Amino acid sequence: MPRFLLLGAGFSRNWGGWLASEVADDLLWRLRAQPQLCEILVDRGFEDAFHEIQTRFRANNGALNDLLALQAAIEQTFRAMNLPS
């Protein structure tokens, strides 16, 4: 998975980056068919949700599908953000 640098408080807005709330909204839309992941996203935010799903996967709790879905959604979201407007 590619690496992304996330800066807070709208720092990247000047360069066309999305606010955290916009990233979260986009992720929720992309994961709308997986309500359990959406619930974690709403409760924890996408960084903590990603960490939680990674932790579950590493603990071998059968979270591979969740991890792949969240990872793909994050990649798609950041690709969409990087498209020229």
Check residue 10 and give its pLDDT.
64
Cβ–Cβ contacts within 10 Å for residue 84, how many? 4
Task: Print the domain residue range for 56.
Answer: 26-82
Query: What pLDDT, in 10s, does the model give residues 66-84?
Result: 999 999 999 999 899 888 7
Letter for the amino acid at 55?
T
Q: Which of the two residues, 45 and 3, has the higher pLDDT score? A: 45
Check residue 74 and give its pLDDT.
92
Look at residue 40 and tell me if it is in a domain.
yes
Query: What pLDDT, in 10s, does the model give residues 22-66?
Result: 889 999 999 999 999 999 999 998 889 999 999 989 998 778 999
Buried b / exposed e across 27-40, counting CB within 10 Å, b at 16+? Answer: bbebbeebeebbeb
Look at residue 12 and tell me if it is in a domain.
no
Look at residue 9 and tell me if it is in a domain.
no
pTM over 0.85: no
Q: What total number of domains does the chain contain?
A: 1
Alpha helices in 1-85 (DSSP H): 20-30, 35-44, 46-58, 64-82
Look at residue 8 and tell me if it is in a domain.
no
Look at residue 72 and tell me if it is in a domain.
yes
